[in-house]
Structure formats: structure tokens, C-alpha cells
Amino acid sequence: MKYLLHLICTLLFIFPFGVYAQNIAEVEAAVGYNATNIEPRNDPAMNKWRYNRFGQFFHIGLYTTFGAEYDGQQAKAGEWLKSEFKLSDEVYNKALNEFNPFKFNASDWAKIDKTMGTKYMIITAKHHEGFCLWPSKFTDFTIKNTPYKKDMLGPLFEAYNSYGIDVFFYYSILDWNHPDYRAIISSPEDKVAMERYIGFVIKQLDELLTLYPQLTGLWFDGQWDTAYKSNPEWGWKIEEFLRKKKPNIIINNRLRSDVNGKLDRDKSDKHYGDFDASFEQKMPDPLTKYLNTDWETSSTLMNNGWSYSKKWQGEIKTSKSIVENLVKATSANGNFVLNFAPTPEGSISEYETKISKEIGSWMSKNNKAIYGCGAINLPKPSWGYYTQSKEKVYMIMFQKPSSKLIQLPFQSEKIKSVKLLNNDNIKLSRSKSKDGTLIIDLTELNQDNIANVIELQF
């Protein structure tokens, strides 16, 4: 609706009375393929997304079978292996005969996520390699033609939705397998081929939304090749199709470009789609830059690879650092997504299971400081972060302050109660400074392995 209004206003501005857009192409040109959600969406689906704060990513595909290794060499990112080692289709596609996640059990995965406290999951329905985790009618390059044979996407809905966890699909525009995909267009034939490819994408998305009506949204990626980004009508057309087919669908911003080929955000710095997902492995800088925008950051557990790796390399993140990033994102009105890389058997690794329990044990006591929470208008304190929801402010302490008494920037008389969320046995005594601000005595407090959360009720 908002988008329509915006469109009409733009048109009235560009085409004065008596002149009107002849056809849809003119309408599109008029808006320059700019962002269409000028204000954040405020419908139930998007409010739920914003409430969720914590999501789970899964990268699994043919690349999983290589374990990020080829010919004794370690790939930088497992899911990029085909491109990194310049493997031919012939060599790479042998993995079709290897892909067999026979231990995959959607309800095991869902239980892990339920324990960890994630509220939505995103799975790689199709990554850059072009392989489909569902038996698509529009290509043979699917799970149906592997030893596993079965659909991996369908079973997720029952398992996850029964815990109230939403399912999203990752879908890559970039496709290393499809014969019509073009990274650059150097002839009229290339353009025709790429147009056929866009038709294929729309057919596949139609298929996904028809087969899986419970799907909450789509996480696009791989929109950066010159051919695609310099033809903004394609991304526009795909988005238009999706919004018509499923009006409450949630789409990230990595699907479109504007007339200048700008990705992620248009020239007025408005993100495309419903939220900005261009913070892969990072956060807005400064952190408070996008407080009025829906955004999401995603993170690997191990260096920059998103898929299964036989060898775990580089720095592996701890549950404390993951929780800290979740809290940090929440404190700036963003969502945080943690990636897991299922094994070739389709199970969750030991380290990931251990991490999910550690995070889950913290979340089960402290999730009130995360779900439905957001930014407070105060500078970041040295001991951690503030978050807030309605009449509550949460102090999430990753380091216990060195002084026993801390003075807070709140009028004491306005605070009804002060309580530690993760331990009922410890009572925190309070007092009031000369200027009436709240002082809390932390003498009794022991630093939690991850973080203590103090709830202030207004």
C-alpha cells in the first residue's frame, strides 16, 4: 500500500496533469527502480520478524560433500569451492552421486534451534552452485537425482512451525549451473538467454511458494554480477511477482539494484526489500546508523566459510561472543543470524550442538532481554549493552564493573524494581544518589560465564 502511494506520488510529480504513464515500463522507469518500502513495514508478519531477533542459517548443498577440500587443498569458503578451484561442471557434478544426508531429521534440527532460542531459520534452497534441495520441475540439478532422492525442504515446516519457528529460503540469483545464466551480456543472444533465466527463476519461486505455502520469506543473494545488476527491471519483476503471489512475504534487500546498478541500498540510502541483510559478518558502523531501519547481520562460527569443512580452521567463535553479537544487534534494532554447516550425513556437528546448548542455557534465563527488544537512547556502557522493551530496560553485563556501586542514568523514583534475571537467589540492593539517580550495589553479583542481565522495571 505504502509502495503504491509512493508510486502514485512520484508519478504525479513526474507526469503533470493530463499526462500519465502509458504502461508499466514507464512506471518503473519513473521510480528509477528505487527502494519501495520508504518506511519500515508494520504488518503482523514483519512485526513478528522484528520481534524474533535471533535466527539460524543452514548452508547445505553439493559443496557439503567436498568438506571444503579439493585435491588436498583447503578452500577458503566451502560453498565457493567450484569457483575457487575452477572446477568444470563435469568434475563438480559428480557430487550429485555423493550427496546423501541420510541422517537428516528435520525434527532433530528444530529441537536444536528450539533449545538455542532461535525464532526463524534460513536454509539454502539453492546456493550459487545451482543445486536445488527440493525436486524442482524446472531443472534436473536437484536432490531428486542424488542417492538421497527425497525433498529436504518440505519436512522442515512441520518440525519448525510446531515450535513457532519460521522457515525462510535462501535463493541465489547467481547460478553456476544453469545454461542460460550470464554474468555479463556481450551479445543480443546473451540477453535473450538471461531473460530466459529470469523466467526460470520466477518459475522456481512460484513453485516454492506453491509447494510450501507456510514459507515466511526469501533471503536472496548473488545479485552482484554485471548482467543482473545493470538490468534492474529483472529484480523488480521478480519482486513484483512475489508480492502479488504472497502479499505478506518477507524479502531481504539482496534481490534488486536501481538504474545506476547500485546494490543493497538506492541512492537515497533506502534499502530494497523489507530489511537490509548486507551486514554479512559485520554490523552497521557506527552501530546506531540504522536504528530506524530493519536490518539483519549473519555470522559464521568459523572464519569465512558457511558450509561444512572437514578441518575446522582459524578462530572459532565461542558462545559468549555469539551472545554478545546477538545482544549488540538487538541493542541497535537489528536481528542476528548464526550459521551452522550440516555434515554430509545431514547432522549437526558436535561443536555446533555444544554451542547451541550453551547459548540455549543463557537464552532460557535471559531471553526477555532479546525478543521484542530494541535500542534505548543512551551511549553504550562500558560493561555491556542496554536493550529495552515497553516498561523494561535490560542491562546486559559481559564484564562486571570494577566498582561495587554503579550509578545509572535513570531517576531512581521512576524504577519500580531491580532484579537479576538469571538468578533468583541474588538480591541486588539499590540506593539513590544526591541527584536522585539510581545506584545498584553489585557486591553479591558473580560474573556469569556469558553475561548477567539486570532488569529495571519502570
- As measured in angstroms, the least distance from the Cβ of 77 to ligand JFZ is 6
Considering beta carbons, is residue 77 or 185 the nearer one to ligand JFZ?
77
**The three grid cell numbers given for residue 184, joined into one nine-digit string:** 555479463
Considering beta carbons, is residue 139 or 298 the nearer one to ligand JFZ?
298
Residue 230: half-sphere exposure toward Cβ, Cα within 13 Å: 9
SS3 content of the chain, % helix, strand, coil (to 5): 35, 20, 45
- As measured in angstroms, the least distance from the Cβ of 225 to ligand JFZ is 12
Considering beta carbons, is residue 235 or 372 the nearer one to ligand JFZ?
235
- As measured in angstroms, the least distance from the Cβ of 254 to ligand JFZ is 7
**The three grid cell numbers given for residue 28, joined into one nine-digit string:** 518503473
**The three grid cell numbers given for residue 193, joined into one nine-digit string:** 538467454
Considering beta carbons, is residue 212 or 220 the nearer one to ligand JFZ?
220
Sheet strands (E) in 374-423: 384-389, 392-397, 405-411, 417-420
Residue ranges in contact with ligand JFZ by CB under 6 A: 77, 79, 221, 278, 280, 298, 306
Cα–Cα dist 289/62, whole Å: 38
Cα–Cα dist 100/62, whole Å: 9
Residue 27 and residue 36 in contact, taking contact as beta carbons nearer than 8 Å: no
Residue 268 carries which side chain, given as an amino acid letter? Answer: S
Task: Answer whether the bond into residue 381 is a cis peptide, omega within 30°.
Answer: no
Name 389's bridge partners.
392
Residue 125 and residue 132 in contact, taking contact as beta carbons nearer than 8 Å: yes
Residue 332 and residue 369 in contact, taking contact as beta carbons nearer than 8 Å: no
- As measured in angstroms, the least distance from the Cβ of 178 to ligand JFZ is 17
- As measured in angstroms, the least distance from the Cβ of 306 to ligand JFZ is 4
Considering beta carbons, is residue 135 or 284 the nearer one to ligand JFZ?
284
Considering beta carbons, is residue 78 or 117 the nearer one to ligand JFZ?
78
Residue 319 and residue 357 in contact, taking contact as beta carbons nearer than 8 Å: no
| Angle, alpha carbons 338-343-344 (nearest 5°) | 140
- As measured in angstroms, the least distance from the Cβ of 340 to ligand JFZ is 12
Residue 277's SS3 state is: strand
Residue 417's SS3 state is: strand
Q: Which residue is nearest to ligand JFZ (CB)?
A: 280
Considering beta carbons, is residue 146 or 278 the nearer one to ligand JFZ?
278
Q: For cell 552452485, what's the residue? A: 129
- As measured in angstroms, the least distance from the Cβ of 173 to ligand JFZ is 11
Considering beta carbons, is residue 293 or 387 the nearer one to ligand JFZ?
293
Considering beta carbons, is residue 77 or 251 the nearer one to ligand JFZ?
77
- As measured in angstroms, the least distance from the Cβ of 280 to ligand JFZ is 3
**The three grid cell numbers given for residue 55, joined into one nine-digit string:** 535466527
- As measured in angstroms, the least distance from the Cβ of 298 to ligand JFZ is 6
End-to-end CA distance of the chain: 36
